[in-house]
Chains A and B, each alone.
Chain A
Amino acid sequence: MDHPTLIANGQEVHASLPCSIEEFLVAQNFLLRSVVVEHNGEAVAPSEFSRRQLCAGDRLEIVKIVAGG
Chain B
Amino acid sequence: MPLSNQALVIAGRTFRSRLILGTGKFSAPEVLRDALEVSGAEMVTVALRRADLSGKKDPFANILEFIDPGRFLVLPNTSGAMNAEEAVRLARLAAAAGLPKWVKLEIHPDPRYLLPDPVETLTAAETLVKEGFTVLPYINADPVLAKRLQDIGAATVMPLGSPIGSNRGLQTRDQIRIIIEQAVVPVVVDAGLGAPSHASEAMEMGADAVLVNTAIAVAGDPCRMARAFMAAVEAGRDAYEVGLPGAQSEAGATSPLTAFLANDAQP
Binding site for B on A (CB under 8 A): 8-11, 13, 28-31, 34-38, 41, 43-46, 61-69
Answer yes or no: B164 CB below 8 A from chain A CBs: yes
- Say yes or no: B53 contacts A8, CB within 8 Å: yes
**A10–B95 Cα gap in the complex (Å)?**
22
> Does B163 sit at the interface, judged by CB under 8 A?
no
- Given A64-B51, A67-B63: A44 and B96 within 8 A (CB)? yes
The answer to whether B53 and A62 have CB atoms under 8 Å apart is: yes
> Which range contains the number of B residues in contact with the other chain?
35 or more
> For window 174-233 of chain B, which residues contact chain A by CB distance below 8 Å?
211, 213-214
Which residues in B have their C-beta under 8 angstroms from that of A63?
48-51, 90, 93
* Chain B 88-125 residues near chain A, CB threshold 8 A: 89-90, 92-99
A residues in contact with B22, CB < 8 Å: 68-69
Task: Tell me whether A66 and B60 are in contact (CB under 8 A).
Answer: yes
Q: Which residues of A contact B76 (CB under 8 A)?
A: 65
**In the complex, A9 Cα to B25 Cα: how many Å?**
24
Q: How far is the CB of A36 from chain B (nearest CB, A)?
A: 4
13 contacts between A and B (CB under 8 A): A9-B50, A9-B51, A34-B62, A36-B93, A43-B89, A43-B92, A63-B48, A65-B63, A66-B46, A66-B61, A67-B23, A67-B25, A67-B47
Instruction: Please tell me if the beta carbons of A36 and B97 are within 8 angstroms of each other in the complex.
Output: yes
Report chain A residues within 8 Å CB of B62. Answer: 31, 34, 64-65
- Residue among A13, A38, A65 making CB contact with B53, cutoff 8 Å: A13
The yes or no answer to B77 lying at the interface (CB within 8 A) is: yes
Which listed residue, B51, B61, B89, B96, touches A45 by the CB 8 Å rule?
B96
Taking CB atoms, residues of chain B closer than 8 Å to A46 are 96-98
Partner of A62, one of B51, B94, B213: B51
- Contact of B63 with A66 in the complex, beta carbons under 8 Å: yes
Smallest CB separation, B181 vs chain A (Å):
27
